[in-house]
């Protein structure tokens, strides 16, 4: 087999015959196109053996014990953290690799200026070379999976092959993985092929390392043929290909072609004291508070927030004409540092057991620790590199991008409807980022097109979740900059067109922008955040109900003086004014920056967006 061959989109409809997998697959027949594809990959990668994953508890247990024996993970104290493990990655394999993530569309213009484009024939040749023999001495695991509840009309299927058992157990947490997914493919579901290798073949008798990986890394996407190829990394979204690679980059292309949205969004259910419930989808860049908001414990009485998803949402216009959404994932891959009983008590309760932690520190009694978990660190720890650590050593005990992987079913705040196959009705869409200035606490868009402008102009200070300079401001439209699988100018146009379709079918959701991170002149945060963010959600819900007052500002509608519930908060009038202050001069500079950013999309930029920033300029000049 050679990657220079041009494959087709994989569809079980085109392969009615069935074959047996090598060694059998629990007595099941394998869809012929899946079996043929696996055979082709095995011929190229040359694994020592092939294991077809069934997703069973027994299989997971055996893989975890295998990883313990290999030194990839170690089991934590079962009395403190039942059936939980910690992994320590290679120091060069700790985050998403945006610089090595490629969109291999046939036309470079279709990838757009925000993606790294590679010509697909040349990339196939390059990948053929690195994948040839890459799994020698290793087992190739075949991992069928579903993104979304199996049987949902909104779900999508995939099959990943990998030589990393760590990736297999992670996929088992993050997706509906195993026999049921393969049965859905056999019944006729289309599927996305995803190929992964750590890039570390073993010679006969060669001793393996605890975290095999390769200095050369690729995460390559072929949007026209719906393929993903990943080489060299075993970490997070580089290797758990169902997550960012499929659920966002490839799915965003599917969504454009099929008329829906694949978004980097959390989903929550907010219930007012009246008992009426609303659903909000919110887009924040990584490590900017998505998980905290998804698991919010409101500080105001009578309000509740339930979790549907913390990272990815797929949105469609339902049969009833209303906007509906599902969380396609089955687990949480959350950032550990900063997570505590104060900032996110629900997450802490979720992590009681059955969790895999990666690159956190461990305590002497066999539990986990990271910066922010407790106000004072323990007197001694083993750090994320496996070294002895004491306070004042000058290094971090846990990596800034250390993670936890845990089933969503364990979350105490998980909504009973989180796996509704039809999806939940979305009443509002929220955009946000980490901004020290210029962006108020909350703003409501004037209409859908203005909301798209809000989403397209999100900027956020860089975090440790990806490569780059921490703290540097970058434009991150819709929090999708690293995840949109095609030209973002076309993506903006798709959002605008989606709104026009919504207007023809049903009520269009309201759109808001939030910023929990605005700072005062003294450098301190103006807003208390965390549980008090429910006060902002309350204002949004009351705007939906038509009961909350608002004032016009150049940026949109903001709460009137009596609109935001501040009861019990120690916020003086000056701090409140600063939370919503609009500095026309500073915003004019920002608009100029937005104009330069938009110019990078050239003719692909829809005309509505330049019109929006001209309207904003006019309002700033009034």
Angle between helices 488-505 and 251-258 in degrees, nearest 10: 50
Alpha helix ranges (H) inside 447-554: 448-456, 488-505, 534-545
Please give the order of strands across the beta sheet that includes 368-369: 368-369, 361-363, 381-382, 388-389
CA distance 335 to 347: 10
- Among candidates 148, 305, 252, 321, which has minimal Cα distance to 478? 252
Q: Which of 524, 526, 546, 511 is nearest to 441 (CA)?
A: 526
Pairing of strands 49-52, 139-147: parallel
Q: 192: which strand partners?
A: 158
DSSP 270: E
C-alpha radius of gyration, the chain, whole number: 24
- Which one, of 15, 258, 281, lies nearest residue 153 by Cα? 258
Q: Is 288 a catalytic residue?
A: yes
How far from the centroid of its chain's Cα atoms is residue 438's Cα?
26
Catalytic residue among 104, 288, 411, 484: 288
Phi then psi dihedrals of residue 448, to 5 deg: -60, -45
Rounded CA-CA distance 277/271 in Å is 4
Q: Are 251 and 442 in contact (CB under 8 A)?
A: no
The span from the CA of 301 to the CA of 272, in Å, is 10
The edge-to-edge listing of strands for the beta sheet with 313-317 is: 261-263, 313-317, 323-326, 424-425
- CA-to-CA distance for 374 and 364, rounded, in angstroms? 16
- Asked if residues 131 and 45 have their Cβ atoms less than 8 Å apart, the reply is yes
- Parallel, antiparallel, or unpaired: how do β-strands 277-283 and 428-432 relate? parallel
As a whole number of Å, the end-to-end CA separation of the chain is 65
Q: How many CA atoms, within 13 angstroms, populate the side-chain half-sphere of residue 189?
A: 25
How are beta strands 368-369 and 403-407 bridged, if at all?
unpaired
Task: Quote the CA–CA distance of 418 and 427 in Å, as a whole number.
Answer: 16
Q: What amino acid positions are annotated as catalytic residues?
A: 288
């Amino acid at each position: 087999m050679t990657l220079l061959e041009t494959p087709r989109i994989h569809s079980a409809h085109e392969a009615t015959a069935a074959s047996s997998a090598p060694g059998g697959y629990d007595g099941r027949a394998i869809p012929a196109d899946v079996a043929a594809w696996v055979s082709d990959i095995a011929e190229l990668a040359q694994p020592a053996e092939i294991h077809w994953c069934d997703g069973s508890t027994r299989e997971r247990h055996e893989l975890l014990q295998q990883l313990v024996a290999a030194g990839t993970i170690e089991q934590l104290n079962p009395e403190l953290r039942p059936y939980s493990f910690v992994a320590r990655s290679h120091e060069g394999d700790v985050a998403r690799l945006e610089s090595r993530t490629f969109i291999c569309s046939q036309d470079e213009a279709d990838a757009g200026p925000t993606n790294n484009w590679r010509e697909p024939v040349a990339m196939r040749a390059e990948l053929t070379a690195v994948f040839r023999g890459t799994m020698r001495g290793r087992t190739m695991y075949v991992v069928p999976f579903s993104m979304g509840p199996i049987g949902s009309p909104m779900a999508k299927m995939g099959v990943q092959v990998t030589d990393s058992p760590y990736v297999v157990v992670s996929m088992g947490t993050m997706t509906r993985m195993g026999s049921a997914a393969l049965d859905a493919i056999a019944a006729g579901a289309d599927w996305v092929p995803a190929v992964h290798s750590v890039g570390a073949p073993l010679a006969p008798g060669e001793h393996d390392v605890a975290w095999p990986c390769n200095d050369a890394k690729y995460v390559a996407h072929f949007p026209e043929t719906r393929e993903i190829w990943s080489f060299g990394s075993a970490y997070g979204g580089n290797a758990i290909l169902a997550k960012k690679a499929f659920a966002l980059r490839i799915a965003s292309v599917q969504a454009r072609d099929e008329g829906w949205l694949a978004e980097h969004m959390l989903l929550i259910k907010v219930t007012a004291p009246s008992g009426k419930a609303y659903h909000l989808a919110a887009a924040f860049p990584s490590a900017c508070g998505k998980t905290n908001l998804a698991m919010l414990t409101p500080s105001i009485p009578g309000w509740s927030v339930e979790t549907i998803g913390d990272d990815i949402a797929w949105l469609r216009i339902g049969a009833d004409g209303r906007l509906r959404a599902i969380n396609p994932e089955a687990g949480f891959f959350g950032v550990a540092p900063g997570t505590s009983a104060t900032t996110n008590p629900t997450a802490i309760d979720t992590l009681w057991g059955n969790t895999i932690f990666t690159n956190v520190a461990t305590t002497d009694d066999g539990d986990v620790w990271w910066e922010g978990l407790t106000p004072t660190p323990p007197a001694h720890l083993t750090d994320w590199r496996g070294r002895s650590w004491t306070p004042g050593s000058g290094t971090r005990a846990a990596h800034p991008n250390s993670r936890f992987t845990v089933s969503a079913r364990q979350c105490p705040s998980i909504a009973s409807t989180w796996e509704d196959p039809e999806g939940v009705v979305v009443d509002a869409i929220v955009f946000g980022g980490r901004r020290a200035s210029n962006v108020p606490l909350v703003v409501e868009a004037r209409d859908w097109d203005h909301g798209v402008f809000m989403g397209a102009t999100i900027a956020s200070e860089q975090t440790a979740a990806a490569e780059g300079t921490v703290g540097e401001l970058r434009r991150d439209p819709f929090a999708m900059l690293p995840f949109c699988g095609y030209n973002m100018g076309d993506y903006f146009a798709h959002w605008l067109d989606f709104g026009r379709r919504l207007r023809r079918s049903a009520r269009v959701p309201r759109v808001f922008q939030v910023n929990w991170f605005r700072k005062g002149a003294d450098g301190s945060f103006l807003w208390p955040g965390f549980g008090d963010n429910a006060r902002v959600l309350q204002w949004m819900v009351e705007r939906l109900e038509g009961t909350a007052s608002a004032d016009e500002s150049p940026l949109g509608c903001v709460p009137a003086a009596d609109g935001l519930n501040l009861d019990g908060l120690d916020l003086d009038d000056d701090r409140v004014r600063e939370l919503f202050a609009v500095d026309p001069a500073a915003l004019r500079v920002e608009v100029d920056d937005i104009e330069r950013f938009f110019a990078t999309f050239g003719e692909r930029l829809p005309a509505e967006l330049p019109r929006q920033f001209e309207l904003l300029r006019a309002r700033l000049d009034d």
